Amino acid sequence: MSHTTTAIERRFAAAGGKLGPRRQALVRSIMEHCEETSFLSSREVAKRYDVDAATVVRTVQALGYAGFPEFADDLRLHLMTRLTPYTALKAATRERRSITDHLDASLNQALSGVNLLCSRLDRKQVVDAARLITEARRILVVGADFAMSLAYYFAYGLTTLGFDAEAPISSEGNLQHKVDVLSRKDMLIAISFGQCLRVTVDCLRRAAERGVKTLGITDGSATPIARNTDRYLIASVVSPSFLNSYVVPMALISAIHVACAHLNPKRALTRLKPTDREYLSGARWYRERKES
């Protein structure tokens, strides 16, 4: 079955004579067993293949990477293109773990992802993205399949702050019609990960052709979303489960909401003030009926 060539495969093919036979075999084995090697450190990879950690680092640098962390990012993207919910769950069931162990692995991976976001996220890029949102007349947030939940959360938070934001139902025809009424004063935010869903990428390209400002949220610099947008922010969706984990993208979107609120706090407060009484004592909350 054919598949999309990943960034790490392209670098490996381009490296050619820069890698000797042993290093070629090392890289090939790392990629072939990416479901296991994607989550290892350079030292752990070295131990697995009985080589020095320095050899691992020099090998990935020969591929054009600045260091092992950058290589590991592309390796995880490589994994995402080969992993299906079935193969992920099948691999997990082969591990001799208890149910509690699997729960701990999921929670630890989510925590690790958020910590990585905190350490690597360029705050200025988040503020710049929020500024574009605040300047847009209308914001369309596109996320299909499971990413619909992220798109809805993103748009709902923006609407709460007073922005004209919408996360439309992701049928292809409906999305195309929504994109076709956008103008240069509007903005499209596209959310997709790994190989990226075709309908989301098509909306992004369609909006760009109309001169609409675009922002992508994805999990790597080589994804179709990253390659087809004005700017993008990265959030890992790596999970030991059979589904992507959206813990990190949710944290990123929440950070963008915060930036949007604090770019113009007066506007945000003016918008939220009428809801203050409702949140404290309004009819939207469930109340126990008093016994007669």
Residue-range domain boundaries for the chain: 7-82, 120-279
DSSP character at residue 17: G
Question: Cβ neighbours of residue 153 under 8 Å, at least 6 residues apart?
Answer: 250, 253
Cα distances (angstroms) measured from residue 30 to each of 45, 52, 71, 81, 86: 8, 15, 11, 15, 21
pLDDT of residue 133: 97
What is the CATH code of the structural domain delimited by 7-82?
1.10.10.10
| Dihedral sign (CA 89, 91, 94, 95) | negative
CA 71 to chain centre: 17
| pLDDT tens profile 30-52 | 998 887 788 788 999 999 999 99
pLDDT for res 2? 45
CATH level 2 (architecture), domain 120-279: 3-Layer(aba) Sandwich (3.40)
Q: What is the pLDDT of residue 63?
A: 93
**pLDDT value at position 197?**
93
Predicted local distance difference test score (pLDDT) of residue 1: 39
The segments of the chain whose pLDDT lies below 70 read 1-4, 282, 292
Domains 7-82 and 120-279 share a fold: no
SS3 content of the chain, % helix, strand, coil (to 5): 60, 10, 30
Q: What Å distances lie between residue 216 and 41, 104, 283, CA to CA? A: 28, 31, 37
pLDDT of residue 292: 57
State pTM to two decimals.
0.78
